[in-house]
Chain A
């Protein structure tokens, strides 16, 4: 059995007494060159794993912020090709594991084998496809396995426990726990229900459990860090980048936000967590 680099990265954070920090950025946003700089800045600011979005015209699981960044990236001419190129360049400068997040149609259109091979060659360690539930994933899992890519599956608060155990057994790298019933970027609330849900997922899963959707503030990440193995932050970075105009300011702003998330997720029993 091949060792998962992604899982190792989460385990390493755990061994250092922290919750892993997993930022997301839409590939090709705000443009190809700046995107590459920001990915490097995120890695340099302490990201444990980075998710790179391969934009799709009809992102059904995403809220307005990531819809905007996907649309912008596509308008700039972003293709699977250019996302692979951005990753390859960033990968040359960092050892941080990369995960591609996309929808099934771009993967299907390129061909499963071809997509898996190209993703791996460009430095990706895993893939997340939110509209590909395990029931539909057999062919993809074969292709991903042959290429040596982890496939990370999602579970939601609506997932019954028997199903959750099944999905957890298939997920490689980590299990993605969707924090809420909704789309990305909506308001986050660390309810008792969520805490119970994450604990249940962790008890059913042999791989680490990372939580995403709607986490926009370091304080929220800090609270989540007490229960989850990893925290995924996406829309907050897009908004931060949007608020700046020059490429260097965008990279700086993203790095600063990453550092504050990383600090908030630091040693969970520390009372000196920076805000």
Chain B
């Protein structure tokens, strides 16, 4: 583990990215139809303007505090540490944020921005439904119309979140092209944005897509890492030894890691290995993919030798995506973040362990990060500090899990 306390500037390639074209080294960019280019340029300018505007930050902070319930707790999971025979484990409780996941940090920021830009309508894609619920929530709060694109397969496995979105006044549009999951929902949301670009803002839910989305979503999600850093220093008077977060497209991980990039802290992203990397049925883009261009950015992808995008597989709908944020690709290649994997079975095991040792049902996505603790714990000192981003709660997964448990021998 790296222990040097200061790194010189040339050793910090994560500074100053993205550049003005949205490039993180060779990753990122804006690979979109011309119809969207002016909208992306307008969005970039509008985002840069609110970044400098204290009234925007005040408005956002007020809502994050009184509406979302931030800051979210940093909880020490003592029984989990004991069970794993490992280091001290802390959980950053994003599952306790309003709507049940970290997604609201971003939708609130983008919703306020859209309002300032004079848009009256928002659209969003969703996988597990958490981003859809968070978008529908913000639309209701800000009095905007909302349409959420969701894969037909995901609608089936996330019925609870579909009902929540409808109660919140959003229209849920089923997408039955391709793999009927998150990737196809993004395609359809982009098509819908192209068609309604004048009055509509597209709230992308993760650090993917064309510039400025990866940068903008990172900025709105970095509150996770900023709070965590302050909380652990206040409480323990020191930085953690390691941070662990799950990575689908990668928004909770970027938000969690980003404020720690300059610190001597080990950063570990955990991708979904589905049925196992060797089976080919997985969503481990950084661990098993190659570089390509999808949804407006250059990054690691799962695609065949002809450049056709492959279907991803994960028990967690929110990780079931064949791409990943360009900044993750960059952080992987410069060696700042290590990416590991956890299978569906690993995640299910971690789900049950956390439920029974701590009385917390984690989202299946977050359970992938918890699953990695089993591998990490034995090599860490007992007094080492590891923080896991508990990005969401597991209520949405209960029906899917009950059905699966019944099928098991």
Residues on A facing B (Cβ under 8 Å): 56-61, 63, 67, 71, 74, 79-80, 104-110, 130-133, 135-136, 153-160, 163, 167, 178, 181-183, 186
Mark the stretch among B66-74, B186-194, B234-242, B334-342 that contacts chain A: B186-194
Name the residue on B nearest A74 (C-beta): B308
B34 touches A153 (CB 8 A): yes
Give per-residue flags for B276-310: 1 if the beta carbon is below 8 A from chain A beta carbons, else 0. 00000000000000001111101001010111110
Across-interface contacts of A133 in B (CB, < 8 A): 30-34, 37
Q: Tell me whether chain B's interface is mostly helix, strand or loop, or mixed.
A: mixed
Across-interface contacts of A131 in B (CB, < 8 A): 31-33, 293, 296
Question: Which of A59, A136, A154 contacts B29 (CB under 8 A)?
Answer: A136
With both chains docked as a complex, state the minimum distance between the C-beta of A100 and any C-beta of chain B, in angstroms.
14
Q: Cβ of B197 < 8 Å from any Cβ of A?
A: yes
A60 touches B190 (CB 8 A): yes
Interface range on chain B: under 10, 10 to 19, 20 to 34, or 35 or more? 35 or more
Across-interface contacts of A159 in B (CB, < 8 A): 34, 37-38
CA distance A63 to B37 in the complex (A): 19
B198 touches A61 (CB 8 A): no
B308 touches A106 (CB 8 A): yes
Answer whether A181 and B34 are a contact pair too, CB < 8 Å, given A74-B308, A131-B296: no
CA distance A182 to B306 in the complex (A): 27
Q: Cβ of B183 < 8 Å from any Cβ of A?
A: yes
Question: Which of A59, A61, A80 contacts B306 (CB under 8 A)?
Answer: A80
CA distance A155 to B33 in the complex (A): 9
Across-interface contacts of B187 in A (CB, < 8 A): 58-60
Answer whether A130 and B33 are a contact pair too, CB < 8 Å, given A56-B307, A58-B183, A110-B307: yes
With both chains docked as a complex, state the minimum distance between the C-beta of B90 and any C-beta of chain A, in angstroms.
39
CA distance A61 to B168 in the complex (A): 30
Q: Which positions 235-273 of chain B face chain A at CB distance < 8 Å?
A: none
Across-interface contacts of A108 in B (CB, < 8 A): 292-293, 298, 307
B307 touches A181 (CB 8 A): no
Q: Cβ of B178 < 8 Å from any Cβ of A?
A: yes
B34 touches A109 (CB 8 A): no
Known: A60-B33, A60-B191. 13 other contacts (CB 8 A): A57-B308, A58-B309, A108-B293, A131-B31, A133-B30, A133-B34, A136-B29, A156-B35, A157-B35, A158-B34, A178-B35, A181-B197, A181-B198
Between-chain CB contacts (< 8 Å), 9 pairs: A56-B307, A56-B308, A61-B191, A104-B293, A109-B303, A110-B307, A133-B34, A181-B198, A186-B195
